[in-house]
Structure 1
Amino acid sequence: MLTATLSNIGRVRQVNEDQCWVGALGGGIAIAMVADGMGGHQAGDVASQTAVDTFRGAFEQHADKASLSAAEGKMLIRQAIAEANETIYAMASRNERYHNMGTTVVAVLMLPGTAVIGHVGDSRAYRIGGNGMEQLTMDHSLVNELVKSGQLSAEEAVHHPRRNVLTRAIGTDPEVEIDVQSIEWYPEDVLLLCSDGLTNMVSEGQIAEVVADPSQELEAKADHLIQLALEGGGDDNITVVLLQEQRTGEARGASA
């Protein structure tokens, strides 16, 4: 699996509260996640890092697995995210400094021909391939609820002053509803995981154009997306993870 991961603090924030991780199980099964933390006094940074550490620890227990079914993958993703929620909520309950901290999570498990995706919050997963660009996750946000109910148009939602208000997050409640799905996966597809620091600054058309460009390596595409978000204002931390199946004859990529 070819991978590229990049994160940037942006032009406004003092701390990068985004975290990301890419790893692998046996048999070349790739795992990746992005977490976008929230909370004062650097608590968002603590929440997102804890989510990554807990999620990673949960999967390292299965590092020797050479194969997984989609059903097993869904169960593991759900369990790992739920464990991260419990850990962060417990930390916030014990320490006033971390009161109400939380984080988004979007994670993927890449199986042969199938991608299993779990998410909570408004960090997103996209598939870019022969059929164009498809958003795979639905934001757990106030404006998305307003769009679904017909009270806002998709265009109005992009600039709504409360577009960053989440209806679900990891760590803010003892339990959380986790959306998990599996999709078909083709060798020509590229999977993008990202925080809203990218999608709030760069249009989907621009993202699709960069990721579909055959002249750029995966690392260059990730850097190009970061630069576009910075040029768009860089109002938030920006994190990008790209994954693509290695084709025969290609040089093997690595996490940046």
Structure 2
Amino acid sequence: MITANRSDIGRIRLANEDRSWVGTTRSGLTLAIVADGMGGHQAGDVASQLAVEAFRDAMEDIKVDLTADEAKMLIRQAILQANEVVFDMASRNEQYHNMGTTIVTALFLQGSSTVIGHIGDSRAYRVSGGQITQLTEDHTLVNELLRSGQISASEAVNHPRRNVLTRALGTDQQVDVDVQVIKWNDEDTLLLCSDGLSGMVGDDQMLETLLAPDLSLEEKAERLIQLALQAGGDDNITVVLLQAGMEREGVKDSL
């Protein structure tokens, strides 16, 4: 698997509360994570880092020959374990009260399956057959209003409460996790990102960049970061790209 991992503080924020990691488990399966923290007094930094570390620890010793159902269960359990770690830290420390984070993860199984798990509005996209598809459903107030028909898609883009999450990791003792299995082709590209990218760069621009034949995977990740900065860079921006390949490319760990 070839990978690229990039993150930028953006043009507005004073700290980067995004955390990401891509690498392999001890059994050799490729695993990727993006978390976008929230909370005052740098609590967002703490939440996202705790979530990534707890998730990685929970997934480190998984076996290589997992079935899709086993992998779904393990992804869900690992995210719930991360939720417990973040919630416990927030409960025991007043300065971290109400901190939380989004999380989106991908685990590549042997064969042609990939398991995607997420909470919040960090997203997973797949580029396949010249098209880009959003794989995850945002856990946001605006998305709930859009799905119920109370606002239009154009209204959703500039809605004043578009960043309000309806579900996050670490803010509650119990949380629901969305987990799905997708079929994977060797020609596909997977994009995991924080909303600093998806909130600033449209699907058409993402697709054009990810299909650019003259760019390496690292260069595509960097171009996506630059597009978000050119659009205003209102938030931290994190991009993880994964493609089939023999050698690993890019920065593995942004912790």
1:51 pairs with 2:51: yes
Residue 27 of structure 1 and its aligned partner are, at CA, apart by 5.6
Write the letter of the residue equivalent to 1:10.
G
SS state of the match for residue 209, structure 1? Answer: helix
Write the letter of the residue equivalent to 1:70.
A
Name the structure 1 match of 2:144: 145
TM-score (norm 2): 0.96
SS state of the match for residue 242, structure 1? Answer: strand
Alignment RMSD, CA only?
Answer: 1.2
Contact residue 4 and residue 219 of structure 1 kept, 8 A = yes
Query: Which is worse superposed, 65-74 or 112-121?
Result: 65-74
Residue 169 of structure 1 and its aligned partner are, at CA, apart by 0.1
Name the structure 1 match of 2:16: 16
Write the letter of the residue equivalent to 1:16.
N
SS state of the match for residue 85, structure 2? Answer: helix
SS state of the match for residue 173, structure 2? Answer: coil
1:243 pairs with 2:242: yes
Write the letter of the residue equivalent to 1:108.
A
Work out the CA distance in 1 between the residues paired with 2:169 and 2:249: 31
Q: 1:97 aligns with which of 80, 95, 99?
A: 95
Contact residue 3 and residue 248 of structure 2 kept, 8 A = no
Residue 66 of structure 1 and its aligned partner are, at CA, apart by 2.7
Deviation string 1:95-129 (CA, Å, 9 cap, x unpaired) is 00000000000000011201100000000000001
Write the letter of the residue equivalent to 2:174.
E
Q: Where does 1:127-166 land on structure 2 (aligned, <5 Å)?
A: 127-166=126-165
Q: Where does 1:24-103 land on structure 2 (aligned, <5 Å)?
A: 24-26=24-26, 28-62=28-62, 65-103=63-101
SS state of the match for residue 234, structure 1? Answer: coil
Residue 69 of structure 1 and its aligned partner are, at CA, apart by 1.3
Work out the CA distance in 1 between the residues paired with 2:238 and 2:60: 23
What fraction of aligned residue pairs are identical, expressed as a percent? 62
Deviation string 1:169-205 (CA, Å, 9 cap, x unpaired) is 0000001000000010001100000000001111110
Contact residue 23 and residue 32 of structure 2 kept, 8 A = yes
Name the structure 1 match of 2:221: 222
SS state of the match for residue 165, structure 1? Answer: coil
Q: How many residue pairs align between the two structures?
A: 251
Work out the CA distance in 1 between the residues paired with 2:77 and 2:23: 17
Contact residue 21 and residue 34 of structure 1 kept, 8 A = yes
Work out the CA distance in 2 between the residues paired with 1:54 and 1:131: 36
Tell me: CA distance 1:86–1:222, structure 2 relative to 1, closer, same or farther (3 Å): same
Show structure 1 runs of 4+ deviating over 3 A. none
Contact residue 26 and residue 60 of structure 2 kept, 8 A = no
Write the letter of the residue equivalent to 1:71.
D
Write the letter of the residue equivalent to 2:249.
G
Work out the CA distance in 2 between the residues paired with 1:129 and 1:27: 27
